[in-house]
Amino acid sequence: MIDPEEVEFLRENLSTEALPGVLRDRISHEQLVELAVAAEPLWNALETVGGMVDSWGGSEFRRVFPETLAFIYESANQAP
């Protein structure tokens, strides 16, 4: 479970400016923080299983997480 200090870290270090394109207009800062908090278990598993990502809160997270959200959004909203 993510602790309050980690949530505060996210509030201070995650920026909607890192979100690509249309997501920047659709996701507020608090929503981005909410998504990051919800993603912590997945992020931890990605780190544990072969080091697929850097540690939680690392600078990689600030870049890769928004790009991951964009990939999910674009993939889910592609025309069939």
What pLDDT does 27 receive? 93
- Give, for 28, the enclosing helix (H) or strand (E): none
Alpha carbon separation from 78 to 9, 24, 25, 35 (Å, rounded): 33, 18, 18, 21
- Residue 53: what pLDDT? 73
Give the angle 41-55-67 at the CA atoms, nearest 5°. Answer: 75
pLDDT reported for residue 21 = 84
Residues contacting 7, CB < 8 A, separation 6+ = 33, 37
- Provide the domain limits for residue 13: 4-76
Q: State which residues of the chain have pLDDT below 70.
A: 1, 54-60, 79-80
Tell me, yes or no, if the pTM score tops 0.85.
no
The number of folded domains in the chain is: 1
Break the chain down into helix, strand, coil percent, rounded to 5. 70, 0, 30
**pLDDT at residue 54 in the model:** 66
**What pLDDT score was predicted for residue 28?**
94
Q: Summarize pLDDT for 14-25 with one digit per residue, the tens.
A: 889 989 888 999
